């Protein structure tokens, strides 16, 4: 057949998978959804005639114009809805995910063909390194791993730290239950991450990069390894990159998947081959990081934002989102929601828009009750607070946090005490055990929650839950312990009646 079959990453609409994208020269690209193996012959036969099976067509896909940012549709298949008419896509703004599912992540030429590495070319050939840092600072980009620290400022601190041997590190140790944004970004567009790191390294004058990734992400590791080989072969990593005189390379370090290794100091220890346990800060990683060298640590999505900031400029970027919370954020929308999938929206978009407009509300028509944001460190937000803008500060104000981007939806059938128990069980089993409040406190919280869920709890248990949560938050050494009680505290605050119902009358 005169037909090319290529792998792509994920376009993010999990509910409609398996999805196949059909491209016929000169015509619009069309997504086919819920495709089965026995549809393959029909799809190919029609494609060879310049047609598509319209019964499987989901929507036409536009090109993302890399200069204007506009969406441009091709010709043909006008009876198929446009991408912008599909509710799941129409409220999204895809910047990081713009090419996910549409290019072959195993082919560097496809990335270059849609403008990839042009930002690196611009940075290394026409920008002063300090100007790059200034541009990232002006863009307002904040770390997407959860803390929201200004990325450009961290770069500047690393650059100014004493010493000539430094590291930049990509934190790809995504471990929140229900969160798979970084995995998708690496599997679907690995060169975007490498390009972001290359630009950052040049800006900071760092020559060694590491990607710390959990071994549970074998496809991401495979595609990153291939992407690194391709980038080296194209002179985009290694010596004298793009004839700029700048040397830089990236190695992959795999972790065994301990949740705590997402914490910066534990991550550094793990890279050094030690047990992944947090240590007291300061010194921060920017002063004393991997192997004692100043280290800039940013997560996958933070690095992925860098090429577009350099290509389109800080002003273009900072016009997206809200004041102090610029750009977009990728979320994995999961749980009891109709449209599960990978969602990218401007920061400041409300939970309501994400869950009802993009997610189409509760799965199977059930009433949504709450959403859990921020993974085990976050909290559960009731529907009455769904107008809360999703950004670093507003989520904190309602008792949760953005975290790295997991959004787990709960419906009318969800037992919120059980949810709190699930997350405490997770945090307790992932605790590294170094400090007593976290190691012992979480176990006791779990014991009490088990007691309440089994109908043997007492009213005193509620007070103990609150006091113990407060102690664990205030006295734990690292973020895992300091934030682990959040699911308990928010479910007590917003769904206290569900605890009350489980307490025996005589309790």
Residues that bind ligand SF4 (CB under 6 A): 260, 278, 431-435, 438-439, 476-478, 480-481
* Minimal CB distance residue for ligand SF4: 481
Residue 417: both structure tokens together: 């005490």
122 in Cβ contact with 166 (< 8 Å) = no
Give whichever of 404 and 431 is closer to ligand SF4, judged by the CB atom.
431
Give whichever of 105 and 481 is closer to ligand SF4, judged by the CB atom.
481
DSSP, collapsed to helix, strand or coil, labels residue 488 as helix
Q: Which of 73, 55, 53, 48 is nearest to 63 (CA)?
A: 73
Give whichever of 349 and 428 is closer to ligand SF4, judged by the CB atom.
428
191 in Cβ contact with 231 (< 8 Å) = yes
Give whichever of 19 and 435 is closer to ligand SF4, judged by the CB atom.
435
CB of residue 445 to ligand SF4, shortest distance in Å: 13
Q: Which of 61, 57, 62, 7 is nearest to 32 (CA)?
A: 57
Give whichever of 233 and 256 is closer to ligand SF4, judged by the CB atom.
256
CB of residue 435 to ligand SF4, shortest distance in Å: 3
Strand order in the sheet with 208-214: 249-255, 208-214, 167-172, 295-299
Give, as one character, the DSSP assignment of residue 236: S
CB of residue 282 to ligand SF4, shortest distance in Å: 16
Round to whole Å and give the CA distance between 252 and 225. 8
CB of residue 227 to ligand SF4, shortest distance in Å: 32
Question: Exposed, middle or buried: residue 49 (CB in 10 Å: 0-12, 13-18, 19+)?
Answer: exposed
Give whichever of 342 and 472 is closer to ligand SF4, judged by the CB atom.
472
Residue 467: both structure tokens together: 């006091």
Give whichever of 56 and 271 is closer to ligand SF4, judged by the CB atom.
271
10 in Cβ contact with 100 (< 8 Å) = yes
CB of residue 284 to ligand SF4, shortest distance in Å: 16
DSSP, collapsed to helix, strand or coil, labels residue 235 as coil
The residues that bridge with 343 in the sheet, in sequence order, are 331
Give whichever of 96 and 438 is closer to ligand SF4, judged by the CB atom.
438
Round to whole Å and give the CA distance between 387 and 392. 15
CB of residue 278 to ligand SF4, shortest distance in Å: 4
Give whichever of 138 and 434 is closer to ligand SF4, judged by the CB atom.
434
CB of residue 262 to ligand SF4, shortest distance in Å: 11
Q: Which helix (H) or strand (E) holds 321?
A: strand 321-322
Give whichever of 15 and 279 is closer to ligand SF4, judged by the CB atom.
279
387 backbone φψ class: left, alpha, beta (φ>0; ψ -120 to 50): alpha
CB of residue 289 to ligand SF4, shortest distance in Å: 18
Long-range contacts of 237-246 (CB under 8 A, 24+ apart): 237/194, 237/198, 241/120, 241/124, 241/198, 242/120, 242/121, 242/124, 242/125, 243/125, 244/124, 244/125, 244/202, 246/124, 246/201, 246/202
Give whichever of 366 and 443 is closer to ligand SF4, judged by the CB atom.
443
CB of residue 487 to ligand SF4, shortest distance in Å: 15
| H runs (alpha helix) in 179-285 | 181-188, 190-204, 218-233, 264-271
Sequence-distant (≥ 6) Cβ neighbours of residue 229 within 8 angstroms: none
Alpha-carbon Rg for the chain in angstroms: 24
Question: Exposed, middle or buried: residue 490 (CB in 10 Å: 0-12, 13-18, 19+)?
Answer: buried
Residue whose pair of structure tokens reads 């929650």 in the numeric block: 449
DSSP, collapsed to helix, strand or coil, labels residue 338 as coil
CB of residue 438 to ligand SF4, shortest distance in Å: 3
Give whichever of 419 and 435 is closer to ligand SF4, judged by the CB atom.
435
Residue whose pair of structure tokens reads 């113990």 in the numeric block: 468
Give whichever of 350 and 475 is closer to ligand SF4, judged by the CB atom.
475
């Amino acid at each position: 057949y005169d037909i090319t079959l290529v792998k792509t990453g994920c376009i993010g609409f999990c509910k409609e998978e398996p999805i196949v994208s059909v491209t016929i020269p000169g015509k619009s690209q069309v997504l086919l959804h819920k495709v089965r193996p026995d549809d393959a012959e029909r799809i190919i036969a029609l494609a060879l005639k310049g047609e598509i099976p319209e019964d499987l067509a989901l929507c036409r896909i536009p090109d993302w114009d890399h200069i204007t940012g506009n969406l441009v549709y091709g010709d043909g298949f006008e009876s198929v809805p446009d991408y912008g008419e599909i509710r799941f896509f129409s409220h999204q703004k895809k910047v990081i995910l713009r090419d996910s599912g549409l290019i072959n992540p195993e082919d560097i030429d496809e990335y270059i063909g849609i403008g990839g590495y042009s930002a690196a070319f611009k940075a290394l050939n026409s920008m002063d390194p300090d100007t790059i840092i200034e541009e990232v600072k002006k863009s307002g980009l904040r770390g997407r791993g959860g803390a929201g620290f200004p990325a450009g400022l961290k770069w500047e601190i690393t650059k100014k730290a004493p010493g000539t041997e430094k590291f930049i590190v990509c934190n790809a140790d995504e471990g929140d239950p229900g969160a798979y944004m970084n995995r998708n970004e690496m599997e679907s567009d690995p060169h975007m991450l490498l390009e972001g790191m290359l630009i950052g390294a040049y800006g900071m004058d760092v020559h060694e990069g590491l990607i710390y990734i959990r071994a549970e992400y074998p496809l991401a590791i495979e595609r990153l390894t291939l992407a690194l080989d391709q980038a080296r072969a194209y002179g985009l990593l290694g010596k004298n990159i793009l004839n700029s005189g700048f040397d830089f390379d990236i190695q992959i370090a795999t972790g065994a998947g301990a949740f705590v290794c997402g914490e910066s100091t534990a991550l550094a220890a793990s890279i050094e081959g030690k047990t992944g346990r947090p240590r007291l800060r300061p010194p921060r990683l920017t002063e004393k990081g991997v192997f004692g060298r100043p280290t800039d640590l940013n997560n996958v999505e933070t690095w992925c934002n860098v090429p577009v900031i350099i290509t389109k400029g800080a002003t273009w970027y900072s016009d997206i989102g809200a004041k102090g919370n610029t750009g977009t954020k990728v979320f994995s929308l999961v749980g009891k929601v109709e449209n599960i999938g990978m969602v990218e929206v401007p920061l400041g978009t409300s939970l309501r828009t994400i869950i009802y407009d993009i997610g189409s509300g509760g799965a199977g028509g059930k009433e949504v009750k709450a959403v859990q944001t921020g993974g085990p460190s976050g909290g559960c937000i009731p529907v009455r607070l769904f107008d809360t803008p999703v950004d670093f500060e507003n989520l904190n104000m309602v008792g949760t946090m953005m975290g790295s981007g997991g959004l787990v939806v709960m419906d009318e059938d969800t037992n919120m005490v059980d949810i709190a128990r699930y997350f405490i069980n997770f945090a307790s089993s992932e605790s590294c055990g170094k400090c007593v409040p976290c190691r012992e406190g979480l176990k006791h919280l779990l014991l009490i929650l088990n007691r309440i869920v089994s109908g043997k709890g007492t009213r005193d248990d509620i007070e103990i839950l609150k006091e113990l949560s407060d102690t664990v938050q205030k006295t734990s050494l690292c973020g895992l312990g300091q934030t682990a009680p959040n699911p308990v505290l928010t479910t007590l605050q917003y769904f206290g009646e569900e605890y009350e119902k489980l307490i025996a009358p005589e309790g």
